Amino acid sequence: MSSKKGSIDDPIELTASPLCKTRNVAPEIILIDSESEEEVEETKKPTPVSSSTSSSPSPSPSLNEEQAAILEYVNRSESPSIFMTGSAGTGKSFLLREIIQTRKARWFGSDEAVAVTAPTGIAASNIGGRTIHSFAGIGTGVGDREKIIKKAVNAKHSCHRWYKCKTLIIDEISMLDSSLFEMLNEIAQNVKNDSIRPFGGIQLIISGDFYQLPPVKGRFAFTSPLWTQSGLRSFVLKEVMRQKEDRFVNLLNKFRTGEIGAAELDDINECHEDVLGFPDDGILPTKLYCKNKDVDAENNYHLKALTTRPYTFRSRDVWKGPTRKKFEVDFILQQIQRKVNDLICLKEQSQVMCLKNFPDVGLVNGSRGVVVGFERSEQAYPIVKWTGGNTTTVKPAVFDQGVSKLFLQRMQLPLKLAWALTIHKCQGMTISRAEMKLSDAFEQGQAYVALSRIESKSGLKLLGERVTQKDIKTNPAVTNFYANLENRQRPEGEKRKAQGGGSEKPHHKRQGNHRDLEDDGYCMGDMF
């Protein structure tokens, strides 16, 4: 039942009955008697956002030349494996969605043939996938290695997923450690009964930027010998799609690689100025912090300061499978809480962020808005005005999380308070306006991830102390990895020249298209 008082202590229950009567709202989520985990996962997802005052949504941007070349290469008959990288904002996630569609079409629309994964729930949600732990059937992935592999190979559901998989997509590869990468290979080879080919012959589509946030524990995936053995063809996207200011793009690239001097520091520190001209539309810039405690304090302070009536929405959670193992239940709850909270308290004028992609109304994971009211209905859904100018009524969406045979579906509003976010939470998002304090950065890639979320320099304001060289942390192993990657595309003469070698031998001039990949297995943006 919905709340009559609308207080924090009396949350609005997202019950099934009224939802079923409302157009474009999540249907009732019920327990499924079938043993098949896949039946739960393939439950039709609702359209939880309805437009009320927006113009026709703009069409999805078309692929640029380098993206189109990669897509064509991936879809060759031999199904080659690739590693796709590039700076933040070059359209890696957008291209991945195109690849997902075309690979599924290759296998007659089969979701089982194309596994879409990422190391974290937030990253997986951004591309419509699931966590790599959930797909692989490895639970938390912590414990005795051989036991974890044996369990994944012998478990009915995970074995079925691996057996049916033709293409494995892993996004945000920087957050996946080398040990897990090797474990996935062993599981695939066991299930496919193919110990010769990497991953048992499964096509790998790996995407990410190693200059961004590293694994929580362990080493980068590229440090494993398996990385080279997998025969990945490397593509580096060059054209930045998120940021449209050339000067800002160049500045971000300097911060990405750590090649910054006094001029770059002066340039970025201009964003400390108070007069930035943010639009006066009631949508405040999101503050990005390095630490969770700062985010919680900021959001709680602003929510309590609002004198408008509170509406609290409680999620509807449905479990499928045995819940006897407390560590699995706790792990799933922890992971799904990172995607969406079980309790969401909103007031008019609350600053919010969208947690899913809704291209039909021009919203993406990370879109910013402000609550301008609530529907006058029993459920009192929030009405949100977004930075793009459109206004929508936000309704519940379904969020998934599972490990092994245990699976949870959570129905909740795809919103979170957004006066502040952690930098970890915003990786993969595009944010139009943000304030951040980079002097607190404590991890490699943290400052770069924060800065590169922003569409333009005009949408950025820096807080706290001036940014200095010590705030920009990069990993030497990553720098060497990209240097070696770039060196491998150079014609032989240029390689010898860079290494102080002898005279240059004649070589065929590259024609600037993807067919040149067969020369050495690598591709850089200058080839397009």
pLDDT tens by residue, 104-116: 999 887 889 999 9
Percent residues over pLDDT 90 in the chain:
39
Residue ranges of domains in the chain: 12-58+283-421, 65-237
Which two three-digit tokens encode residue 82? Answer: 């690739």
Rounded to 5 degrees, what are φ and ψ at 67? -65, -40
What mean pLDDT value characterizes the chain? Answer: 79
What pLDDT does 299 receive?
Answer: 94
Tell me, rounded to whole angstroms, the distance of Cα 353 from its chain centroid: 15
Q: Does pLDDT of 160 surpass 60? A: yes
**Does residue 2 carry a pLDDT above 60?**
no
Q: Looking at domain 65-237, what is its CATH homologous superfamily? A: P-loop containing nucleotide triphosphate hydrolases (3.40.50.300)
Instruction: Round the CA-based radius of gyration of the chain to a whole number and report it.
Output: 24
- Give 40-54 pLDDT, tens digit per residue: 333 334 445 554 443
pLDDT digit string (tens) for 244-270? Answer: 667 888 888 899 999 889 999 999 988
What Å distances lie between residue 29 and 137, 380, 388, 408, 409, CA to CA? 23, 20, 32, 11, 8
Lowest mean pLDDT among 22-31, 71-80, 293-302, 352-361: 22-31
Residues 375/346, Cβ–Cβ less than 8 Å: no
- For the ranges 193-207, 312-326, 405-419, 458-472, the one whose mean pLDDT is highest: 193-207
Residue among 143, 126, 130, 213 nearest 180 (CA): 143
- pLDDT interval class at 277 (50, 70, 90): low
| DSSP state, residue 234 | E
Two structure tokens written together for 198 = 């990497």
- Read off the tokens for 64: 């640029």
Taking only the tens place, the pLDDT of each residue in 294-340 is: 898 999 999 999 999 999 999 999 998 888 788 888 888 988 888 89
Which residue bears the tokens 């959001």? 299
Going by DSSP bridges, is the β-strand pair 368-374/12-13 parallel, antiparallel, or unpaired?
A: unpaired
Question: What is the predicted pLDDT for the residue at 53?
Answer: 42
Which pLDDT value is given to residue 419?
A: 94
Comparing 175 with 141, which gets the higher pLDDT?
A: 175
Q: What would the pLDDT profile of 370-397 be if each residue is shown by its tens digit?
A: 999 999 877 899 999 998 789 999 999 9
Q: Which residues contact 430 (CB under 8 A, 6 or more apart)?
A: 89, 242, 364, 366, 453, 455
Is residue 18's pLDDT more than 60?
A: no
Tokens 């990468």 locate to 181
Write down the pLDDT at residue 11: 66
* 153 closest CA partner among 143, 144, 163: 163
Length of the chain: 528
Give me the mean pLDDT over the 440-446 stretch: 80
Maximum average pLDDT range among 30-34, 204-208, 403-407, 443-447: 204-208
Q: Calculate mean pLDDT across residues 506-510.
A: 36
pLDDT at residue 415 tops 60: yes
SS3 (DSSP) at 274:
coil
Query: For 181-205, what is the mean pLDDT?
Result: 97
**139/492: higher pLDDT:** 139
CB count in 10 Å sphere of residue 225: 9
Partners of 402 in beta bridges: 407
Q: Which amino acid is at 214?
A: P
> In the chain, count of helices (H) and strands (E)?
18, 23
Binned at pLDDT 50, 70 and 90, residue 61 comes out as low
Q: What six digits make up the tokens of 207?
A: 């995407």
**Residue 167: both structure tokens together:** 């293409």
Mean pLDDT score, 495-507: 44
Region 112-123: mean pLDDT is 87
pLDDT at residue number 24 = 32
Residue 122: both structure tokens together? 């937030």
DSSP for 166-183 reads: SEEEE--GGGSBHHHHHH
In the predicted model, is pLDDT for residue 498 greater than 50?
no
Q: How far apart are CA 214 and CA 220, in angstroms?
A: 7
